[in-house]
Structure 1
Amino acid sequence: MATERRKKSDHVAQTLAMEIVRGRFAPGEKLRQDRISQEFGTSHVPVREALLQLVAQGLAISLPRRGICVAPMDQTAIHELKVMRQALEPTALLHSVPNLTGEQIEAADEARLRCDAAQAVFEWEEANRSFHNLVIAGCGMPRLIEEIGKLQLLYARHFLAHHTARWRQRDDTDHQAIMSAIRARDARRASVVLQRHLSRLT
């Protein structure tokens, strides 16, 4: 029973997270449990657990007398997000490269190709985030992976809110260089390229 409820709450949290990232909910908007419960056809308990997950991710905040609301778009935090990603992701990749299986490498390259072929910004963002997650999957540090995932979601929300109109389809040469280094099992080169890649975040 608890496992089934956890699955429901995880599904609700993941769906709401992407809807917040993609701008369906405005900053400061109240996330109403009754409405969400009705939308997902579930009780209030898994919805409440899902909302607490969003708070832990930084996508929502809990306010006295208002309940849980969508987190504001904090422009002052963007620099911090970039610095943290530049510190954590190359480290995770450095430890990941020696341990990636052939299947994981192919999955990462498939995500790279989806990213390059994307015709819409939401499609690109999802494939881009998938690529970044897949290349660090072998690092063996679940807490680090979880923290990086949170940072990526918060950055994706910023990117989609401010850069969607300027987005254009393109081949990502940094992704190609990272994959080339991974296939050569050159962890240091892959990490250096990723560091350079993340330094270009806008």
Structure 2
Amino acid sequence: MTGTELRSVVRLHKQPSIRDTVKSALRSAIISGEMQPGRVYSAPSLGDEFGVSATPIREAMLDLVREGLVIALPNRGFQVTEVSARDLYEVTELRLMLEPPAIERATPFVPPDAFPALRAQADEIVEGAERGDLIHYLTADSDFHLALLQYAGNVRLTELVASLRSQTRLFGLASLAEQGLLTASALEHSTMLDAIEAGDGALARTLVYSHIEHVLTDWSGGPAAPAGTDRRA
């Protein structure tokens, strides 16, 4: 994770404040595995990477402490929390219960004038995949999915999904990007939009379900489910 990549994310993904911009990029770096569990990161060193002062870094990291993504180590910095195979499975199972039906529910409420912006977000995901920029990819991916979920009309559901996404670790993304396979997954977002724009909520639900299942297969870099887990449809 180079300073050039991080500063690029800050420029491309403008948020209401630099603190929120940095927090979004840090969250994506943690989820993608660019920031590794067990390693200690200091606010000044991360500030150098971002090209900002340590203050917004420290504020953003404290927000991520409250989200459970990192642990504050007094006089040392912040340590990324680990997510076990079972944790990943349980989080993804919850997402599969929540997101596909929510997208089906949202489909008739997505207005025609929303699609240009949604398609631009989908293009951002593809751009991140093609460049192998995992932070860009995951930031754009999160923005896209949460934007769609808002049309389901349940603020708590959207907030819950955002929290669940933050608890995921996708170490397999780097390998997929290196093999040129991440773009295929990125292109699935446009297919989802095609179904939603056509008013086919059932198809959109199926596509979203299949897309999220990648977390348990290709994206996580691990087995589909931890040993001893009984998975039922």
Give the TM-score of the pair, scaled to structure 2. 0.65
The one-character-per-residue Cα deviations of 1:94-151 (angstroms, maximum 9, x if unpaired) are 3322221223222223333454564233355454444333332312223322222233
What letter is aligned with 1:53? D
Q: Does 1:133 align with 2:133?
A: no
1:40 aligns with 52
Contact 1:73 1:158 in 2 (8 A): no
RMSD of Structure 2 on Structure 1 (CA): 3.4
From 202, 208, 222, the counterpart of 1:188:
202
Residue ranges of structure 2 left out of the alignment (5+ in a row): 1-15, 218-233
From 136, 144, 147, the counterpart of 2:160:
147
1:98 aligns with 108
Offset, 1:182: 1.1
What letter is aligned with 2:196? I
1:82 aligns with 92
Contact 2:30 2:169 in 1 (8 A): no
1:20 aligns with 30
Go from structure 1 to structure 2 and tell me whether the alpha carbon gap of 1:99 and 1:61 turns closer, same or farther (over 3 Å shift): same
Report the secondary structure of 1:27's partner residue: coil
What letter is aligned with 1:56? R
Separation (CA, whole Å) in 2 of partners of 1:82 and 1:22: 15
Report the secondary structure of 2:150's partner residue: coil
Separation (CA, whole Å) in 1 of partners of 2:186 and 2:43: 41
Report the secondary structure of 1:137's partner residue: helix
1:3 aligns with none
Go from structure 1 to structure 2 and tell me whether the alpha carbon gap of 1:163 and 1:71 turns closer, same or farther (over 3 Å shift): farther
The one-character-per-residue Cα deviations of 1:65-104 (angstroms, maximum 9, x if unpaired) are 8663111243332211220211121132133222212232
1:111 aligns with 121
The one-character-per-residue Cα deviations of 1:28-48 (angstroms, maximum 9, x if unpaired) are 2223245456752254xx544
Go from structure 1 to structure 2 and tell me whether the alpha carbon gap of 1:15 and 1:195 turns closer, same or farther (over 3 Å shift): closer
What letter is aligned with 1:90? P
Separation (CA, whole Å) in 1 of partners of 2:176 and 2:187: 20
What letter is aligned with 1:134? A
Contact 1:107 1:134 in 2 (8 A): no
Contact 1:125 1:156 in 2 (8 A): no
Farther-moved stretch of structure 1 (172-181 vs 130-139): 172-181
What letter is aligned with 2:78? I
Go from structure 1 to structure 2 and tell me whether the alpha carbon gap of 1:120 and 1:55 turns closer, same or farther (over 3 Å shift): same
Contact 1:96 1:138 in 2 (8 A): yes
The one-character-per-residue Cα deviations of 1:45-72 (angstroms, maximum 9, x if unpaired) are x544322221233321245786631112
